[in-house]
Amino acid sequence: MVHSTITPAIFYWGTPVVLITTRNLDGTSNIAPNSSVFWLGNRCMLGLAECSQTTANLLREKECVLNLPSDDMIPQVNALARTTGSEEVPSFKIMLGYHYDKDKFRTTGLTPMKSELVRADRIKECPVQMEAELAGCYEMMSSLPGEAKGFTLAIEVKVKRTYVEEKLRLPGHENRINPDAWRPMIMSFQHLYGLRNGDRETSTLADIEEELYRLPID
């Protein structure tokens, strides 16, 4: 096996797509696709540009909804891909072909749903929806020079309530997802994928009872 050295511009090795809904200053909704994300316990870390509308909304309102699209929602995600909720589009986004979109629900044909614990709307078509509150904000890449310094933030949110379609629930368990039923959308190096059909491979980690990972409620 031969390895060679490369210097990638991005490191999207394969992460789930999240549609983040936040509340604009005028009470309307913003939707932003994101793949810089990971979960640990009931916390989620989001990698966001400091200048994005989602970041501004999240830091001001201190809440959001994390909506997980299934892999058959690629048209809706593509409709969002080069849009921004910022009226003044940042220069780097203009260079990438972004444009301002005031009503992303209309653009995508997605349907807003009222949340129960936060003011941001959920997305009806997404089979998983998580209402969340801001838990922390951390500057990344602070060592970079000039305007690049502080360009990216790592934003921690705490999931307060999770909604899933009934078909995703694992029979015989109150709080577990059936991995054979869940088909997340995955981004890998700017391309969108779904999970392959067929039987899953055996994992020794799956022998551990899932509830043993549950952290104390805070």
Least confident of 62-71, 119-128, 201-210: 201-210
Tell me which of 156 and 202 has the higher pLDDT: 156
Nearest-10 Cα torsion for 123, 180, 45, 23? 0
| Residue 207: pLDDT band with limits 50, 70, 90 | confident
Per-residue confidence (pLDDT) for residue 140, from 0 to 100: 87
Per-residue confidence (pLDDT) for residue 199, from 0 to 100: 67
In a domain, 207, yes or no: no
Domain count, the chain: 1
Residue 114 corresponds to which amino acid?
K
Q: Could you tell me which of 4, 143, 146, 122 has the C-alpha nearest to residue 64? A: 122
Per-residue confidence (pLDDT) for residue 8, from 0 to 100: 87
In a domain, 22, yes or no: yes
Please state the rounded mean pLDDT for residues 117-122: 98
pLDDT in tens, 72-112: 999 999 999 889 999 998 887 888 888 999 999 999 999 99
Q: Kindly state the tokens that stand for 86.
A: 């910022």
Place of tokens 């809440």: 63
Domain that residue 152 falls in: 15-196
Per-residue confidence (pLDDT) for residue 91, from 0 to 100: 86
In a domain, 211, yes or no: no
In a domain, 167, yes or no: yes
pLDDT in tens, 124-155: 999 999 999 999 999 988 777 766 666 789 99
In a domain, 34, yes or no: yes
In a domain, 182, yes or no: yes
Residue 205: is its pLDDT beyond 70? no
In a domain, 208, yes or no: no
pTM: 0.92
In a domain, 7, yes or no: no
Q: Which domain CATH number covers 46?
A: 2.30.110.10
